[in-house]
Amino acid sequence: MGERDLMSVGQVAERSGMATSALRYYEREGLIAATRNTGGHRRFEPVVLRRLAFIRAARHVGLSLDEIREALGSLPEDRTPTKADWTRLSRSWRKRLDAEIQALEALRDGLDGCIGCGCLSLRTCALANPGDRLAERGPGARHLPEPLRAEEA
């Protein structure tokens, strides 16, 4: 691949919709790779756009950077990943996505009442959490389904 076929960090940012700082971070974390031209500027192969789309989707599903790194590490290095490669990776997300969908549906269905925040401000919260007993279980919205209580990475 000639240098003209490579993309600058700005071009990748524009095409991927990610900030250049995110691209540099993902490169430091080993999730994407860049080469340097004679002037020392980063240059990316167009295939990096697929990896970035994968990273974005994986983050939305709730995968940690370590899980994403492991998944990307399972892709072949000697060729461009195929649809079958991406399908194999995404299948492992199905249970996680199903749990997230169920949790979001439960949240949606309860939005007009107590959403499990633990604030005790609504009359129904006093019924669902008398004496703030849920505080003993730890911080956060203890009534929310587990996938919605997970801490941000």
Per-residue pLDDT reduced to its tens digit, 81-121: 788 888 888 887 888 888 888 888 877 776 666 666 666 56
Q: How many helices (H) and strands (E) does the chain have?
A: 8, 3
Residues 83 and 137 in one domain: no
Residues 30 and 59 in one domain: yes
Residues 80 and 136 in one domain: no
Name the residue among 59, 17, 10, 70 with its Cα closest to residue 34: 10
Return the percentage of the chain with pLDDT > 90, whole number. 28
Q: Tell me which H or E stretch contains 37.
A: none
14: domain CATH number is: 1.10.1660.10
Is 152 among the domain residues? no
- The pTM assigned to this predicted structure is 0.64
- Give residues with Cβ within 8 angstroms of 89, minimum separation 6: 54, 71, 74, 75
pLDDT band (50, 70, 90) for residue 3? low
pLDDT band (50, 70, 90) for residue 124? low
Name the residue among 55, 11, 15 with its Cα closest to residue 153: 55
Residue whose tokens read 């919709």: 17
Is 153 among the domain residues? no
Provide the 3-class DSSP secondary structure of residue 75: coil
Region 52-56 average pLDDT: 90
Expressed as residue numbers, the domain containing 119 is 96-147
Q: Is the Cβ–Cβ distance between 78 and 47 less than 8 Å?
A: no
pLDDT band (50, 70, 90) for residue 27? very high
Q: Give the pLDDT of residue 153.
A: 45
Q: Is the Cβ–Cβ distance between 9 and 42 less than 8 Å?
A: yes
Q: Give the pLDDT of residue 106.
A: 77
38, pLDDT greater than 70: yes
Pick the residue with more confidence: 138 or 119? 138
Domain boundary among 65, 92, 119: 92
Number of structural domains the chain divides into: 2
Distances 78 to 64, 104, 116 between C-alpha atoms, Å: 26, 40, 49
